[in-house]
Amino acid sequence: MNFLEARVASENGKVVLIGKGFRLALPLDKTQNLPDEVTVSIRPEDLDGPVPNGENTMTMQLEVTEPLGNELLACANCSGKRVVANLDPHRQVAVNSRSTWKSIRRPFTCSIEKESRRFFKQHILGR
């Protein structure tokens, strides 16, 4: 699981999660009672890249790939944070290239209270 810090903002009538190197739009029905800052978690199998521009994108530097038969494991850097993606094994990617990636399936947000009491609030993003 990839964990990235983000702030919650409103842009053009949409609620977006903005972090270093990424921007994810939330459906309006999933924005109730969000704190100002959240931890975004994205499963490796829910990333695809490189892709042309679009919504729910991350800018990453691909550092290493490892073919594993039925998938291609890709490790990238998103503004200083390591991000792992499980890609189609036939995907052509260039190591040491900087490109845009897309969060495709259902990333969700979870937040942790500062007083060490933990709570998780799940907000599923649609496709």
Residues 44-75 pLDDT 10s: 888 887 877 777 888 889 999 999 999 999 99
Phi, psi of 30 (to 5 degrees): -110, 20
Please name which of 61, 74, 63, 75 lies closest in space to residue 21, comparing C-alpha atoms.
61
Residue 8 reports pLDDT greater than 90: no
Q: How far apart are CA 107 and CA 26, in angstroms?
A: 10
Q: Which residues contact 52 (CB under 8 A, 6 or more apart)?
A: 100
Residues 52/34, Cβ–Cβ less than 8 Å: no
Global confidence as pTM:
0.75
Q: How far apart are CA 12 and CA 46, in angstroms?
A: 26
What are the tokens at 103? 């969060």
Q: Which CATH class is domain 2-110?
A: mainly beta
Q: Would you list the domain boundaries of the chain? A: 2-110
Q: Which residues contact 85 (CB under 8 A, 6 or more apart)?
A: 44, 45, 47, 48, 49, 73, 74, 76, 101
